[in-house]
A and B are shown apart, each in its own frame.
Chain A
């Protein structure tokens, strides 16, 4: 035995065999090694995937996922994505926030809950939030505004304040500014800058 090995070594056969590049086994020759191939006897399949039953054929399945050995895609009747919110309706499959714009002014408010929908949202829902519409039944009212009564009409009001649902403009006799030192005298608009600001500027 030792003699035979010596002969083989002398002939370079053993040395040649040891220097060959090691390649992992790939019985089905699909390019995926046996250890990573979920079925090394079939070159058509090699990847383990979790797929979900897709009854309505919209590309999103539902229920618990099941493991499959495939060529990378889901088997017929299944989808790689799950959580279809309407498993029997091919036009709906995803949940989105309910951003409503009933009055069509472009400003939305958020309804409770989620909406099950497809690629496009049905009216009056929008895909992106815009503002926080305080009155979605009137297009001219869409924002909460803090206003102060401006009795002397100098553009600066004073407390008390109110928070109103308004549009682009504030009502006459009110102002968004609320620091009038004397709201009975239009010549007085603002109190002197507070000590705090003077300290800041020193």
Chain B
């Protein structure tokens, strides 16, 4: 129960993508490393359907560099990816140029 509540709150907080996002995002089944810059996201992990880990970098296009909301989104993105990193198999992380969120893996 506790886990479900935490997950529900986590998902509510971490759903950062706009309604039109996720057009070119990738679903990571595992996240092995994360590097969040001011303009880029670099994620190492196993993308769904692939047989080996890879490192991909996407340019973060949501907002402008001086946008405080953008900085907050990047920070939340970083945390969500760390969460996925710490619990492999529990979350799938969706990462794209204008979105970054995690969702519970379907049982």
The chain A residues found within 8 Å of chain B, CB to CB, are 131-132, 134, 143-144, 146, 148, 156-157, 159, 161, 163, 165, 175-179, 190-191, 193-194, 196-197, 199-201
The chain B residues found within 8 Å of chain A, CB to CB, are 3, 6, 9-10, 13-14, 29-30, 46, 49-52, 76, 79, 82-83, 86-90, 105
Residues of chain A lying within 8 A (CB to CB) of residue B46: 144, 146, 163
CB distance from B79 to the nearest CB of A (A): 5
**CB pair B50 A196 closer than 8 Å:** no
Among B13, B50, B79, B89, the residue within 8 A (CB) of A176 is B89
- Apart from A131-B49, A175-B89, A178-B88, list 5 A-B contacts with CB within 8 A: A144-B51, A146-B89, A179-B88, A194-B82, A201-B10
**CB pair B105 A176 closer than 8 Å:** yes
Identify 14 residue pairs between A and B in the complex whose beta-carbon atoms are under 8 Å apart, listed by A's number.
A132-B49, A144-B50, A146-B29, A159-B88, A177-B105, A179-B86, A191-B86, A193-B6, A196-B83, A197-B10, A197-B83, A200-B13, A200-B14, A201-B13
In the bound assembly, the distance between CA atoms of A163 and B3 in angstroms comes to: 27
CB distance from B11 to the nearest CB of A (A): 11
**CB pair B88 A163 closer than 8 Å:** no
